[in-house]
């Protein structure tokens, strides 16, 4: 059985795209990736190797590419709806580091309608939920505006029974869903 660690920010739940999640629940969603990928000449087998949080060492192949989105097969299909590099054409082999997250809305609202777009929604069983506890750091940008970011270093988490997007971490929570893949993309 395939286990994936998939990130979800509270705003995705707050926007009404999904209800709060709980351990033991089954859920269906597509996977989005945030890439630090490069084209490679040796394709190798598609794979995801979990590093920490929602971050993976990834190897795969581009299976769909349009101006609106591109999809890679890493053993599971995941999409990116922006920043498609010019080399990311169908058949290109990729490798690098990615963050896997729940589709915020792009796939379910519009991308699934694109001609040739593969089915990306998988059925998962949520085994555990982790709330990120990495401390926030207050900083000021060059224009004098204040912003918050997570402290540098490895992220920290604590297990919770369910997400509470309207209360956890002052409504700015980041969660990690430890999921068991139950069914193929639909």
Note the pLDDT tens digit of each residue in 16-33. 989 999 999 999 999 999
pLDDT at 143: 93
Query: How far is residue 34 CA from its own chain's centroid?
Result: 7
The residue whose two tokens read 């739940």 is 13
Beta-bridge mates of residue 158 = 131
* pLDDT digits 0-9 by tens, 90-149: 999 999 999 999 999 999 999 999 999 999 999 999 999 999 999 999 999 999 999 999
pLDDT at 35: 84
Mean pLDDT of the chain: 93
- Which pLDDT band, with edges at 50, 70 and 90, does 42 fall under? confident
pLDDT at 183: 79
* Number of neighbouring beta carbons within 10 Å of residue 32: 25
pLDDT at 172: 95
- Which pLDDT band, with edges at 50, 70 and 90, does 44 fall under? confident
> Would you say the C-alpha torsion 10, 13, 17, 23 has a positive or negative sign?
positive
pTM score of the predicted model: 0.90
Q: What span, in angstroms and rounded, lies between the C-alpha atoms of 63 and 80?
A: 12
- Which pLDDT band, with edges at 50, 70 and 90, does 186 fall under? low
Q: What span, in angstroms and rounded, lies between the C-alpha atoms of 33 and 103?
A: 9
Range 147-152, long-range pairs (CB < 8 A, 24+ positions): 148/172
Work out the percent of the chain whose per-residue pLDDT is above 90. 82
* pLDDT digits 0-9 by tens, 124-135: 999 999 999 999
């Amino acid at each position: 059985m395939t286990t994936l660690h998939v990130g979800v920010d509270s705003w995705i739940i707050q926007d009404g795209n999904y209800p709060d999640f709980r351990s033991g629940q089954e859920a269906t969603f597509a996977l989005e990736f945030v890439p630090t990928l490069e084209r490679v000449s040796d394709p190798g087998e598609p794979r995801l190797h979990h590093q920490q949080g929602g971050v993976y060492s990834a190897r795969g192949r581009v299976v769909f590419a349009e101006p609106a989105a591109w999809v890679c097969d890493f053993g599971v299909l995941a999409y990116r709806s922006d920043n498609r590099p010019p080399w990311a054409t169908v058949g290109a082999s990729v490798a690098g580091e990615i963050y896997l997250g729940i589709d915020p809305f792009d796939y379910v609202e519009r991308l699934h309608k694109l001609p040739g777009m593969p089915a990306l929604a998988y059925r998962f069983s949520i085994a555990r939920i982790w709330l990120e506890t990495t401390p926030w750091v207050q900083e000021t940008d060059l224009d004098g505006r204040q912003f918050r970011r997570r402290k540098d270093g490895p992220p920290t988490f604590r297990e919770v029974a369910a997400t509470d997007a309207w209360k956890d971490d002052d409504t700015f929570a980041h969660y990690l869903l430890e999921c068991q893949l139950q069914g193929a993309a639909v």
